[in-house]
Chains A and B, each alone.
Chain A
Amino acid sequence: MSLGKNTLSDGAPRPNASAAYRWAASLGGLVLLLWTVEAFAITVSLSSSPPPETIRPDHDMARVTLAVQHDGQPLTHGRVQVKVTAPPQPKLLSTDFPVVEATTLLDLTSDLRDGTFSFDYLFPIRGAYTFDVDLQPVAGAPEFTPATVQKSWQIHESPVEIRNVWLLVLGLFFLGGVFGLVLARSAHAKSALILTVILVPTALGIRAEGTVRAQTESTKTQHVVRGENGWALQVDSTPAQGTVGKQVRFDIVLTKDGEVYAEATELSLELYHIEDGKPIFKTALLTPTGETSQQLQFFDGAPHRVMITAHPAHPDRAAEKPLQAVFEMEVNGIHPPLGVKLRTLALLTSVLTVGMVVGWFCPLGSKETGGAPIC
């Protein structure tokens, strides 16, 4: 019996050579298509110095750089809008700024410079930040399809603060253990223990001093700086005072002889925390005209200094002196939600209670007779 064309000597079906070639060609075509799409697509990369995994929240000022490529080359002309959203609310342990959780921290708009846009920022809390990047073409420049990209960064808690939390937990556990030990064994020591518990908060209360900040609200403030040759810089802050968890909009207008400057303008925006003596945000923006609007959130309820500098971007105007508006802004702190506070308090108290139970059953020393009954 002769074997058919499509069978091997052992009777197994012979693979069709032409079908295999077709599969290989399809696969190659798919790879080529993907490569082409990738090469001609907008690619956005987000990096920082120091790297995100080493940034300590509320400590390290990080330089965040957004690099945009089109056709494999830096996108020289394009408008970028970056929206930074704070991490969502943690399930168990609160952050030290719970009001800013899951809120929009920055909403910036600028033209790209050599395909990049960067800003310096003090990330306030640990967790996963979301960056929403929206890219749009600008008039008079090569067109591209508008793109929206979302990136996420995980920022870890500062090792020092983790150590402090452990010290607090161990301290409470040890304190509870001492309480349990004393309650179970020494009737005479109980009085001293109660005395300590009563005197310590009294002493702390006497030492506690502070100032109450006025929390007046107004809707808008305007700052105008006039320069030479008819230049003026006007900054409107809405609202006039910042509030933690809410954005402040800065409407910035550079005018020349009373008219909005119609050409590209370089702006720098800096926020400075006066009490802590450190900058929390800094960026340089390039806007198509002298008018722009930027939105930011102050995450700490304390006075801040705002510095805004404007200057025409055209090289012919390089001799013009930059105009700078500097003003202080009060930020109203919002007290954390009661539920968050009670949850954290319950955790700390439970550590103390566990320590007390352990101290009670600790086989150390001898129990005095004649003490108070257990129940």
Chain B
Amino acid sequence: MRDREVPQPSARRQFKYVRRQLNIFRRYHVSTLQQGLILIAACTLILYTVFFTNVPAVHDFFHELRHVMGIIPCH
């Protein structure tokens, strides 16, 4: 006897669900200026991870990318 298939929610429903869960800014009344600062901080973190971190796994993965940029210090 075959197991009954559980219907999976569509990608659109999943995205809406995640979006609802992540909509913390509205829930906690974060001002737009604070949102902007959080975005800048998040992007700075991403830039640091991609271009500057010394963690060997991350460094080795982005090594070539760092060198083709010309201004990114590497070793």
Does A96 make an interface contact (CB < 8 A)?
yes
**A-binding residues in B (CB < 8 A):** 18-20, 22-23, 25-26, 29-33, 35-36, 39-40, 42-52, 54, 56-62, 66-75
Among A164, A184, A335, which residue has its beta carbon within 8 angstroms of that of B75? A335
Min CB–CB distance B62 → chain A (angstroms): 8
Pull 28 A–B residue pairs with CB atoms less than 8 Å apart, ordered by A: A94-B71, A94-B73, A95-B70, A164-B68, A175-B43, A176-B43, A183-B35, A183-B36, A187-B26, A190-B35, A191-B23, A198-B42, A201-B45, A204-B49, A208-B57, A209-B60, A209-B61, A211-B60, A335-B75, A344-B73, A345-B48, A348-B51, A349-B40, A353-B40, A356-B39, A372-B30, A373-B32, A374-B31
Count class of interface residues, chain A: 35 or more
Residues of B within 8 A of A213 (CB): 56
* Contact B75 A334, beta carbon cutoff 8 Å: yes
Does A336 make an interface contact (CB < 8 A)?
yes
Residues of B within 8 A of A208 (CB): 57-58, 61-62
Instruction: Give B75's nearest chain A residue, CB to CB.
Output: A333
A210/B46 contact (C-beta < 8 A), A193-B39, A372-B35 known = no
* Contact B66 A372, beta carbon cutoff 8 Å: no
Q: Main SS of chain B's interface residues? A: helix
Residues of B within 8 A of A352 (CB): 40, 43-44, 47
* Contact B59 A210, beta carbon cutoff 8 Å: yes
Residues of A within 8 A of B59 (CB): 210
* Contact B61 A244, beta carbon cutoff 8 Å: no
Residues of A within 8 A of B32 (CB): 183-184, 371-375
Complex Cα–Cα for A160 and B56 (A): 27
* Contact A244 B75, beta carbon cutoff 8 Å: yes
* Contact B75 A97, beta carbon cutoff 8 Å: yes
A300/B52 contact (C-beta < 8 A), A165-B69, A187-B26, A374-B31 known = no
> A200-217, CB under 8 A of B: which get 1 and which 0?
110011011111110000
Min CB–CB distance B32 → chain A (angstroms): 5
* Contact A197 B39, beta carbon cutoff 8 Å: yes
Complex Cα–Cα for A351 and B25 (A): 25
Residues of B within 8 A of A244 (CB): 75
Among B30, B43, B69, max chain A CB count under 10 A is at B43
**Which 5 A-B residue pairs are closest in the complex by CB-CB distance?**
A210-B60, A333-B75, A161-B70, A336-B73, A208-B61
